[in-house]
Structure 1
């Protein structure tokens, strides 16, 4: 007699399997452990070098200081994975902040109007960057280098380089000075941006398309992916997040200024590259970007506590970018 064998049936994934897969998605990237080791080393070095470093107030200060970089770096992760770059994020932030402040002062002193103007302006700049890059086949480096100057110039022109005062108390509480579940709202907005970024990049078809476009644009195109739309959407997301960062900064400052955060794109790109994202596209993850941003923020904070001059801080951050690119080069 011949034995009847039951067909092989794939076992349903257990809870531990799902948990393991979640950790793999969050920790994906080449050598992620190096990122965490570097962060721990920084904490140890600065803790031994400064008696003020290991304090709750200082860590909250680092969280607030890294808010702007962390929020924009989420969008920049999408752009760089798609094999592009956006040099205009700091200027987009300045222009979005001016738009939010002007909308509240000239149209309606409502935080909703200000938020819509700031987010909309950032998304519009991102849309223009994406259209010029994809439809005219101009390298994104050149497109965003031009929009960097134009957005900053517009921010200065609209008020003749003067700041715009904001008086809406609700705006301050929602974006700059309030708390949410005991967490300062700037840090809460950072967590929101990170969670949305993780869901979009690691658990959504849009994220899979971003990886495909960055990994092999030709193969992605022949597989039916609208590569131009995906790339443009990445720029729009980055611009909108720059707008969100503008709301946080202007709410904390009670005003919008056209000359703020000049050169911040350096910190954003450094955070994304340090987080394991490849400038050659196709690789990156959001949790790594968060740790990259925290490393930059911790480095800035620690160097200030140690009395290192601002020019030397720029030299150190530039060297870190070069080292990170060399480390991640395939």
Structure 2
């Protein structure tokens, strides 16, 4: 006679967990954090205008430029590299665009701004991919070179942009009720998300970041991949600089200062593995939004800049600690 199976012990019984409803709190920490922080500020700061349309659009506007940089940074970190030069490249692109527009017109200025990103990206990519200098060292050096050139050629003076068409296209204009900056950010995020998740190149980027040797054995030209992700990052940074110039109607070498840290934090908060092999452009967008949401709420709460830095730092460390792999 076949023995009946013993009833399952309590510890073997199925219990209700987050994955039962499709939520992985480690993977989705940025989305959970965004909702929690938004609700908390809405309750605590509702009387301070936090939920006003103007304030919410301001949050979107201020997060948009960092989100553009974060799109490029997602590819770089997903490939197990880093780019510390993006903030300085944004500043250099802004002053280049402004100076060329004032002398040669709108089209030439736009082309010049994009060329800044392509040239810097080619230099960074060549040194990282072919000379095999660590990306941390290459981009740290480029950070200094780019800001030095920008400060040198302008003698530290702002470069005004008087072309209303440019400022309307790249920052101060609107599309319907949405600020133009938000539209540019949405386009960058949509393209980046599709390429990273659906295109062959995106899969190769993550494969290179996960295990370069295995990727090479599978036929992936990892040097070319590293070169291209550095190009993408620098070009996205240059685009961000052009948006800064359009929004503030001038080019300044200070534009983008500190954005490299904001972008890296947004990318890591968004679920991209710092060791490479995993990335999410949509997550990076929400990481940028979360950071700006925190900054906005702390300002409305009356905290001074030093206190804001402390609170943001603690929140970022906690979020990254919760999101890391076991």
TM (norm. structure 1) is 0.87
TM alignment of 1:266-305, pairs within 5 A: 266-305=261-300
Residue 51 of structure 2 is matched in structure 1 by: 54
TM alignment of 1:145-184, pairs within 5 A: 145-184=140-179
State the Cα deviation string for residues 265-307 of structure 1 (Å, max 9, x = none): 1111110010011101001111111111110010011111111
Cα distance 1:31–1:281, how it changes in 2: closer, same or farther (>3 A)? same
Cα distance in structure 2, aligned partners of 1:313 and 1:30: 26
TM (norm. structure 2) is 0.89
2:65 to 50, 56, 68: 68
Contact 1:122-1:242 within 8 A present in 2 as well: yes
Moved more, 216-225 or 126-135: 126-135
Cα distance in structure 2, aligned partners of 1:316 and 1:230: 37
Q: Which runs of 5+ in 1 are unaligned?
A: 1-26
Cα drift, residue 154 of structure 1 = 0.5
TM alignment of 1:115-130, pairs within 5 A: 115-130=110-125
What is the SS of the residue equivalent to 1:196? helix
Cα drift, residue 30 of structure 1 = 7.3
1:140 to 135, 141, 144: 135
* Equivalent pairs, count: 302
Cα distance 1:85–1:321, how it changes in 2: closer, same or farther (>3 A)? farther
Query: Considering only aligned residues, what root-mean-square deviation do their CA atoms show, in Å?
Result: 1.7
Cα drift, residue 261 of structure 1 = 3.0
What is the SS of the residue equivalent to 2:154? coil
Moved more, 122-131 or 161-170: 122-131
Residue 195 of structure 1 is matched in structure 2 by: 190
Residue 232 of structure 1 is matched in structure 2 by: 227
Cα distance in structure 2, aligned partners of 1:201 and 1:28: 22
Cα distance in structure 1, aligned partners of 2:250 and 2:173: 16
State the Cα deviation string for residues 231-274 of structure 1 (Å, max 9, x = none): 11111111111111111110111110112232121111110010
Cα distance in structure 1, aligned partners of 2:136 and 2:24: 25
Cα drift, residue 29 of structure 1 = 8.2
Contact 1:28-1:285 within 8 A present in 2 as well: no
State the Cα deviation string for residues 26-69 of structure 1 (Å, max 9, x = none): x9987343322211111111112212111111110001111111
Residue 239 of structure 2 is matched in structure 1 by: 244
Cα drift, residue 70 of structure 1 = 0.4
Cα distance 1:30–1:212, how it changes in 2: closer, same or farther (>3 A)? farther
Q: Which runs of 5+ in 2 are unaligned?
A: 1-21
Residue 98 of structure 1 is matched in structure 2 by: 95
Contact 1:29-1:276 within 8 A present in 2 as well: no
Contact 1:118-1:244 within 8 A present in 2 as well: yes
Residue 8 of structure 1 is matched in structure 2 by: none
